[in-house]
Amino acid sequence: MVKRFAVIGHPVAHSLSPRIHAAFGRQTGIALDYTAMDAPSESFDAILAAFAAEGGVGANVTLPHKGRAALACHTLSERARRAGAVNTLIRTATGWEGDNTDGVGLVRDLTERHGLDLRARRTLLIGAGGAARGVAPSLLDAGIGDLYIVNRTPERADALADALAMPGRVHPRYLRDIGSLGTFDLIINATSAARDASLPMLQVALANPRTAAVDLSYGEVAIPFLAWARAAGAHDCIDGLGMLVEQAAESFQRWHGVRPETDEIYETLREHRAELVTAD
Ligand code: NDP
């Protein structure tokens, strides 16, 4: 029987995950059925339970359910526990195991595809939602220098810093004070602000000629931040398409025990990037 997988989110209709996993399946010769399932916040648990009852064996979870998904799991991987957010569900005999492949996906894209050396980079993380929680532990593991976290809701930046438990290295700050934080070698936009055309005000002095500026979004949603980064003189301006493909490959490996090659689907999607809608 063909194994069933899904991406669960809201909205999710534009998700590229079904296309990416279908491509990985063809490449590796693994038959799979991977669909997008729309789940408004109040119905996430019911939709996940129905998916399991119908034989679903694995799922990706996207905005806004990554925190909720962590609560629905029987066990969590170490990286999902540290993130407090789950983007990959694996069906086990006793329930769902939760994993988080966002962080390893981002680090692999930055270091292997874009050839960046992340070590000792003074880093600014804008946002403290599910994606920020997923990537922060992996960035620290990859050897970045001090990590400054700002968020529209400051309590969430504080909570993320507390969860990372590295007070000497991780510093939550107020978004309104961003102009006094100095310059950064790595700036990551992990907000969904541009979705409603309200990117926080960023000073050009945040970037220096070595800065890598990364938006976790892709397609139209990434345009305002990357335009700011170019105007600020950042050395590298990178969107989230590579991370998307790499986190999917890591999920695929968790489910199927095989690591797919990612360059071909990345290049195919890149050719159509202007038409892409961030949905994962
Ligand atoms: P969440 O809903 O969990 O978090 C949203 C974040 O954006 C919060 O920090 C929120 O702040 C902030 N935010 C939202 N609107 C505004 C605004 N108007 N001004 C300032 N801050 C704002 O979403 P995720 O963390 O899951 O996703 C964030 C982005 O990352 C999305 O665009 C998503 O598509 C992308 N992403 C890309 C991935 C990839 O593989 N490329 C993987 C995962 C996510 P507050 O706490 O105050 O609400």
Question: For the residues 94-99, what does the mean pLDDT come to?
Answer: 97
Q: What pairing do the DSSP bridges indicate for beta strands 88-92 and 123-126?
A: unpaired
Give distance in angstroms: CA of 29 to centre of ligand 1: 35
Q: What is the pLDDT of residues 187-230, one digit of tens each?
A: 999 998 876 667 778 999 999 999 999 999 998 889 999 999 99
CA dist 16 and 19 (Å) reads 5
Q: Which homologous superfamily does the CATH classification assign to the domain defined by 3-100+245-275?
A: Leucine Dehydrogenase, chain A, domain 1 (3.40.50.10860)
Name which residue sits closest to atom 15 of ligand 1, judged by CA: 193
Q: Does 203 show up as a binding residue in the annotation?
A: no
Q: Where are the alpha helices (DSSP H) in the chain?
A: 17-28, 44-53, 66-71, 78-83, 102-108, 130-141, 154-164, 223-231, 241-256, 263-271
Catalytic residues: 66
State which H helix or E strand residue 171 sits in: strand 170-174
User: Quick check: 279 pLDDT over 90?
Assistant: no
Name which residue sits closest to atom 31 of ligand 1, judged by CA: 192
Name which residue sits closest to atom 2 of ligand 1, judged by CA: 64
Question: For the residues 237-259, what does the mean pLDDT come to?
Answer: 98
Q: Does 88 show up as a binding residue in the annotation?
A: no
Residues of the chain with CATH 3.40.50.10860: 3-100+245-275
Question: For the residues 231-258, what does the mean pLDDT come to?
Answer: 98
**Among residues of the chain, what percentage have pLDDT more than 70?**
96
Copy the structure tokens of residue 92. Answer: 């086990």
Asked whether 175 and 150 are in contact (CB, 8 A), the reply is yes
Ligand 1 atom showing the smallest separation from residue 247 Cα: 40
Ligand 1 binding pocket mutation candidate from 191, 198, 220, 266 (most atoms within 8 A of CB):
191
Evaluate whether the domain defined by 103-239 bears CATH number 3.40.50.720: yes
User: Quick check: 8 pLDDT over 90?
Assistant: yes
Residues of the chain with CATH 3.40.50.720: 103-239
Q: What is the pLDDT of residues 68-83, one digit of tens each?
A: 999 999 999 999 999 9
Q: What is the pLDDT of residues 41-62, one digit of tens each?
A: 899 999 999 999 999 999 999 9
Name which residue sits closest to atom 22 of ligand 1, judged by CA: 193
Ligand 1 binding pocket mutation candidate from 65, 152, 250 (most atoms within 8 A of CB):
152
Residue 224: half-sphere exposure toward Cβ, Cα within 13 Å: 14
Give distance in angstroms: CA of 39 to centre of ligand 1: 17
The pLDDT value given to residue 278: 60
